């Protein structure tokens, strides 16, 4: 059976939900004076573009210390920015409150899916951040430390996913140090796309093979990106053939290209020019001597 990236992501999602259901949601401060519990541990909903929903969380202080709570949202993908990130979809009410020992607070989470939301699953968290508790470090300075615990949200945006990239060019800068390759890529997708793979470089005379990894994260719909791939410790001399092998998307679509180039150190060109100039000077001086001696 062929295991696709989509199947692996669904398996990961199932295991994540299963783990949350087993262990629940608990957070402990470093001094063990308070404990927060959030329910439910996870919420899964389906919302089309422009649709909204209200969900309810319950935050309970099961410790012995009064705590101040700040509600925050965050996307599962820490590198995510812009309107397609979960944290930009949510608002919490109340956004902050205090909890006495044994006290609970219900929080309404409003989720609004934007009109340009990507199709598929968006995973994020709404966290209850408790702060501060007074602690001391190894130098006996008073420091503040907060603890957080949250509910995981899985928002499914139904629609047809389109993953399509265009490789506009693939070039080698033979004069750079270190040597670099450049990919010019445009996304025609309606979702963010990751690209991985490598550039395989073969020295045509000796047959030596080198590899440069490719890792492009979150190429946005409609985005054009120039990606520099650094070839560390590249040989100074040689005739090379570089093959781009990249793949992207759940179906493993490919981007390929082949270029050939030759490299000679700049010092060689300088040496050749100097040698030529010396040869010209020596020849000229020799000619003058012969001309003077023989009167030719």
What is the predicted pLDDT for the residue at 168?
Answer: 97
Residues paired with residue 86 on neighbouring β-strands, in sequence order: none
Give the gyration radius of the chain's Cα atoms.
Answer: 31
In this structure, the chain runs to a length of: 296
pTM value is 0.54
Residue 35: the pLDDT is: 81
Shared-domain flag, residues 199 and 118: no
The residues with which 199 forms a beta bridge, in sequence order, are: 212, 244
Are 143 and 9 part of one and the same domain? yes
Domain-ending residue, one of 157, 181, 208 = 157
Please give the Cα distance from 250 to 128 (Å, whole number).
34
Per-residue pLDDT reduced to its tens digit, 61-91: 988 888 899 999 999 888 888 888 999 999 9
Place of tokens 């490719």: 214
**Cis, peptide link before residue 125, omega less than 30° from 0:** no
201 shares a domain with 129 = no
Domain shared by 111 and 46, yes or no = yes
How far is the C-alpha of 111 from the C-alpha of 128, rounded, in Å?
17
Spatial neighbors of 246 by CB under 8 A, at least 6 apart, are 167, 183, 195, 196, 197, 198, 214, 254, 255, 256
**CB-CB neighbours of 129 under 10 Å:** 18
At 140 the pLDDT is 42
Bridge partners of residue 197, in order along the sequence: 214, 246
The pLDDT of residue 81: 82
**Res 193: pLDDT:** 87
Residues 6 or more apart whose CB falls under 8 angstroms from that of 181 comprise 170, 171, 172, 173, 199, 212, 228, 229, 231, 242, 244
Residue 173 and residue 242 in one domain: yes
114, 240: one domain: no
pLDDT value of position 21: 47
Residues 88 and 109 in one domain: yes
**CB-count burial class (<10 Å; 0-12, 13-18, 19+) for 1:** exposed
Q: Is 49 left (phi over 0), alpha (psi -120 to 50) or beta?
A: beta
> Domain ends where: 110, 125, 157?
157
Torsion angle of C-alpha atoms 137, 140, 142, 143, degrees rounded to 10 = -10
- Quote the number of domains for the chain: 3
Answer yes or no: do 27 and 125 share one domain.
yes
Residue 26's pLDDT is 44
Residues (pLDDT < 70) of the chain are 1-34, 132-146, 265-275, 278, 282, 284-285, 287-289, 291-296
Structure tokens at 257: 């290209």
Note down the domain range covering 277: 272-296
Domain check: are 173 and 102 in the same one? no
142 and 15 assigned to the same domain: yes
- Residue 214: which of 177, 186, 173, 256 has the closest Cα? 256
Is there a single domain that holds both residue 68 and residue 118?
yes
Phi-psi region of 238 (alpha: psi -120 to 50; beta: other; left: phi over 0): left
Give the pair of three-digit tokens for residue 65: 């210390």
The Cα 242–Cα 181 span in angstroms is 9
Q: For the domain that residue 177 is a member of, what is the CATH number?
A: 2.60.40.10
d(CA 58, CA 188): 42
Q: Same domain for 187 and 84?
A: no
Spacing of C-alpha 233 from chain mean position: 25
Residue 165 contacts residue 192 (beta carbons within 8 Å): no
Residues 76/87, Cβ–Cβ less than 8 Å: no
């Amino acid at each position: 059976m062929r295991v696709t990236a989509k199947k692996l992501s669904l398996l990961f999602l199932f295991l994540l939900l299963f783990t949350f259901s087993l262990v629940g949601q608990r957070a402990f401060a470093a001094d063990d004076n308070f404990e927060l519990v959030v329910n439910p541990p996870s919420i899964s909903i389906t919302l089309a573009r422009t649709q909204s929903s209200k969900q309810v969380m319950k935050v309970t202080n099961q410790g012995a210390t009064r705590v101040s709570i700040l509600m925050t949202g965050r996307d599962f993908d820490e590198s995510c920015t812009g309107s397609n990130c979960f944290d930009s979809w949510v608002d919490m009410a109340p956004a902050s409150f205090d909890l006495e020992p044994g006290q609970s607070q219900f929080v309404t989470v409003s989720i609004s899916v934007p009109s340009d939301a990507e199709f598929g699953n968006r995973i994020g968290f709404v966290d209850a951040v408790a702060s501060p508790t007074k602690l001391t470090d190894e130098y006996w300075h008073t420091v503040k430390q907060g603890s957080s615990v949250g509910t995981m949200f899985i928002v499914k945006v139904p629609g047809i996913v389109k993953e399509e990239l265009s490789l506009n060019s693939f070039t080698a800068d033979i004069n750079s140090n270190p040597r670099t390759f450049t990919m010019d890529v445009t996304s025609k997708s309606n979702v963010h796309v990751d690209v991985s793979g490598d550039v395989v470089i073969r020295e045509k005379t000796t047959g030596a093979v080198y590899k440069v990894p490719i890792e492009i994260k979150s190429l946005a719909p409609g985005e054009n990106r120039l990606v520099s791939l650094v070839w560390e410790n590249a040989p100074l001399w040689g005739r090379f053939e570089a093959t781009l092998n990249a793949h992207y998307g759940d179906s493993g679509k490919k981007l390929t290209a082949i270029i050939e180039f030759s490299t000679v150190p700049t010092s060689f060109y300088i040496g050749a020019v100097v040698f030529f100039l010396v040869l010209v000077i020596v020849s000229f001086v020799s000619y003058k001597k012969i001309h003077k001696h023989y009167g030719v």
